Amino acid sequence: MMAQQTLFSRVIGTGSYLPPDRVTNQALAERLAANGIETSDEWIFARTGIRARHFAAPDVATSDLAKIAADRAIEAAGIDPQSIDLIIVATSTPDYVFPSTACLLQNKLGIRNGGAAFDVQAVCSGFAYALATADNFIRSGAHRTALVIGAETFSRILDFNDRTTCVLFGDGAGAVLLQASDEPGVLATALHADGSHAHILCVPGNVSGGAIAGNTFLHMDGPAVFKLAVNVLEKVAIEALDKAGLSAEQVDWLIPHQANIRIMQSTCRKLHLPQERMVVTVDEHGNTSAASIPLALDVAVRDGRIQRGQHVLIEGVGGGFTWGAAVFKF
């Protein structure tokens, strides 16, 4: 009796997209000043590490950002889009209540093979959740080529009368193509959630009876989020590394969720990694939620920092509360 072949999923291409409207801290400060709210570039940068973010135009949907990122990943991988039999979009800002942004994206890509397409909602941990889901589908043999995307238009849910939140977030999309392989790629994933913390980061509204029910602006208890994030990120990173049989010193690149430079640096220190091994894009991207990790990954792949054969650790934490990590050999 022949032994069953072990399947793995490997990253074969990455892509990303930022809308062209780059909003600096100074430009945002001027917008807030018109609402009678005082802030400054110095105030924002000192607390977050953010210098600028990108906002999508009013007629640009989350699926539009995802489409461009997907096209770039497909080009980088050099594959026929019709070979993609699984699309997972991580987003908290979908185009519609339904259908899923993934289905809309499938149509925009012209993929007509009947493969599965669905969204994952885990806020800033969304990409880690989506990557883990795609990896397990491929390892099971159910699918062979997966397009995994984090895409957000967070500018649509920001209250520009609240300087503690509106200065943090931006729009964008990042994409990764995973393909079945007999060579190890994704080595381990770890996912967690604790719904008892839902109230510290949420958008507590919905659609009911043809009208908005509740509040559809983002609400965040910053100190509570910071405290929880620095605690769980270290633990989930170590958990994923243990599953992969690696030590932190074997990590070539750490790509944390790009939320706040102080949270990112804290995790790096706790893992005893030099700061030079951490990919940082929060200064130019802001917090793009589920898009932040694949955006940062694509930047580091395209500028030559991340090379084939290197070990990459990703980790994220977001509303829910959710958190997750993954380790892969690029």
- C-beta separation of 321 from 197 below 8 A: yes
Token readout for 150 is 């984090």
Closest CA to 176 of 148, 138, 218, 143: 148
Q: How far apart are CA 45 and CA 25, in angstroms?
A: 8
Task: Give me the sheet containing 86-90, strands edge to edge.
Answer: 8-17, 171-181, 145-153, 86-90, 116-120
Q: Which helix (H) or strand (E) holds 94?
A: none
The residue written with tokens 């491929």 in the block is 138
Q: Verify whether residue 124 is a known catalytic residue.
A: yes
Active-site residue identified among 143, 166, 268, 287: 287
Closest CA to 325 of 188, 198, 151: 188
Q: How far apart are CA 249 and CA 239, in angstroms?
A: 14
Using H for helix, E for strand and C for coil, what is the string for 34-67?
CCCCCCCHHHHHHHHCCCEEEECCCCCCHHHHHH
- C-beta separation of 220 from 189 below 8 A: no
Q: Verify whether residue 287 is a known catalytic residue.
A: yes
Q: How far apart are CA 51 and CA 256, in angstroms?
A: 18
Active-site residue identified among 124, 166, 202, 268: 124
DSSP annotation string for 239-283: HHHHHHT--GGG-SEEEE-SS-HHHHHHHHHHTT--GGGB---HH
49: alpha, beta or left, given left = phi > 0 and alpha = psi -120 to 50? left
Straight-line distance from the first to the last Cα atom of the chain, in angstroms, rounded to the nearest whole number: 33
Active-site residue identified among 54, 143, 197, 257: 257
Q: Looking at the annotation, which residues are catalytic?
A: 124, 257, 287
